Amino acid sequence: MSETTPSGSTDAELAAQLAEVAGAILLEIRAEGLGIVDGRELGRRGDKAADAYILDRLAELRPDDAVLSEESADDRTRLEASRVWIIDPLDGSKEYGLPGHTDWAVHVALWERGQEITAAAVSQPTLGEVYSSGDSFADVPPNSPLRIVVSGSRPPAFTDDVAAELGAEVIPMGSAGAKAMAVVRGDVDAYLHAGGQWEWDSAAPVGVAAAAGLHCSRIDGSPLRYNESHPYLPDLVICRPELAETILSAIAKHSNESAVSGRVAMAREYVNALLTHDATKVRFAPDAWRVENGERTGDTGAFISDELENGQQYRGIIAIRELTLREWGESVVARYLLDLGTPGQPPAVTVFVTEYFGIPAGEIQSILAIIEPHPNDEETQ
């Protein structure tokens, strides 16, 4: 049941208000910073400002509710709460930092125990639109041919096979919210994703899409569950309800996706960041620490994140090979070969790395790395 504030807002109305104002804040920051600072830094500025606004308003208007936000530390008390707001203050931060892009959004959703998502809003500020689970939605005709939207950077491996079987056109796009709202508007007929997402990526889009009468599920047809111990939710299907059975059958036929846990996914993002120098998708606990070969090399999450992006010791990494990841309990161990040298040239040095990650919740708490010399490939043959 919707709860009202002293101002008379229902949960759905509050979600829409928060998403709209946060979107206005993001537009202002973007107008001031686009072209002046690099896109990644601009996204961080926007994320921080929008997150602070939403958290402040929720603390004022829903003080007894818990919050799970992409930009805030994971407070585990949410697991005992009956009401949890799940927010992504800026979904599509990469697109936000690029001129001319409209495919970024603000997500605000409310999870209630026993009911899943009960109120949600997605704002697309550059379009001047806010979509809410409290809205009335008109029926829209299907496209001919069918149109499927997928991630522009990480489309599912089965995309081409599924599209061929359905005779569908594939459209790449950023932001989960933007893709889901394209289905709500009828611009496309389905949104398919596999390979990694978090609860804040899909909670609000799913809440709005479900209110619009669309089918929403995992790619195997199972329900989407939120406020879980580890907030990793790697795949989803949002589509016109009459297409659900056909699309799910096609995915089952063509998908060979191997599901990984949130802990494994987070450890993999850290290893990838060593090579890309982009730690945007790596979540650290505020007091995270790192030890490499017995030497303390990080005492806070912010420091480790900055080192991944700007530390000169990582600039010589040219390849990461033979990566394996294993999980047990709250820990993940990664083993891989790391090549050092000059891009485009054979590696000057190869080392063998074993890293132990402590990931009790949705953030990396600790990293213990052992780095050993490794013979050149030709010497091992």
Q: How confident is the model at residue 380 (pLDDT cuts 50, 70, 90)?
A: very low
- Examine the pLDDT at 3 and tell me if it is beyond 50: no
- The two structure tokens encoding residue 92: 């599509």
Split at pLDDT 50, 70, 90, the class of 35 is: low
**Prediction pTM value:** 0.84
Q: Which of 5-14, 55-64, 83-92 has the lowest mean pLDDT?
A: 5-14
pLDDT band at 1 (very low <50, low <70, confident <90, very high): very low
319-354 per-position pLDDT tens digit: 999 999 999 889 999 999 999 998 888 889 999 999
Phi and psi, residue 109, nearest 5°: -140, 155
Looking at domain 147-254, its CATH architecture is: 3-Layer(aba) Sandwich (3.40)
The span from the CA of 278 to the CA of 343, in Å, is: 17
- Between CA 159 and CA 150 the distance in angstroms is 8
pLDDT band at 75 (very low <50, low <70, confident <90, very high): confident
As its CATH architecture, domain 262-380 has Roll (3.10)
pLDDT over 50 (residue 288): yes
What is the pLDDT, as a whole number, of residue 331? 95
Ranges 1-5, 38-42, 63-67, 309-313: which has the least confidence: 1-5
Mean pLDDT, range 25-51, rounded to an integer: 84
pLDDT in tens, 171-212: 999 999 999 999 999 999 999 999 788 999 999 999 999 999
- What sign does the CA torsion over 336, 341, 347, 351 have? negative
Residue 71 has pLDDT above 70, yes or no: yes
Give the pLDDT band (50/70/90) at residue 262. confident
Measured distance CA(142)–CA(16) in Å, rounded: 27
The pLDDT assigned to 7 comes to: 52
The CATH H-level superfamily of 11-132 is Fructose-1,6-Bisphosphatase, subunit A, domain 1 (3.30.540.10)
DSSP letters for 212-230: TT-EEE-TTSPPP--S-SS
- Cβ burial, residue 75 (10 Å; 0-12/13-18/19+): middle
Q: By percentage, how much of the chain surpasses pLDDT 70? A: 94
- Domain chopping of the chain, boundaries: 11-132, 147-254, 262-380
Residues ≥6 apart with Cβ < 8 Å to 29: 42, 45, 46, 49
Average pLDDT, the chain: 91
pLDDT of residue 344: 83
* Integer CA distances (angstroms), 85 to 55, 81, 92, 181, 370, in order: 10, 10, 19, 20, 39
Residue 220 has pLDDT above 70, yes or no: yes
Q: Where residue 378 falls among pLDDT bands split at 50, 70, 90?
A: very low
Beta strands at 349-358 and 129-132: parallel, antiparallel or unpaired: unpaired
Q: Regarding beta strands 105-112 and 83-91, do their DSSP bridges make them parallel or antiparallel, or are they unpaired?
A: antiparallel
> How far, rounded to the nearest angstrom, does the alpha carbon of residue 298 sit from its chain's CA centroid?
25
Euclidean distance between CA atoms 174 and 176, whole angstroms: 7
- Assess whether pLDDT exceeds 60 at residue 58: yes
Q: Tell me whether strands 236-239 and 190-193 are parallel, antiparallel or unpaired.
A: antiparallel
Q: What is the pLDDT of residue 36?
A: 59
Residue 54 has pLDDT above 50, yes or no: yes
pLDDT at res. 376 = 61
The answer for residues whose C-beta is within 8 angstroms of residue 84's C-beta and 6 or more apart is 65, 66, 67, 68, 78, 110, 111, 226, 227
Indicate whether 6 pLDDT > 60: no
- CA 246 from chain centre, in angstroms, equals 27
Distance separating alpha carbons of residues 310 and 192, to the nearest angstrom = 34
pLDDT at 256: 80
Is 90 exceeded by the pLDDT of residue 296? yes
Q: Please give the Cα distance from 29 to 45 (Å, whole number).
A: 8
Q: pLDDT value at position 205? A: 98
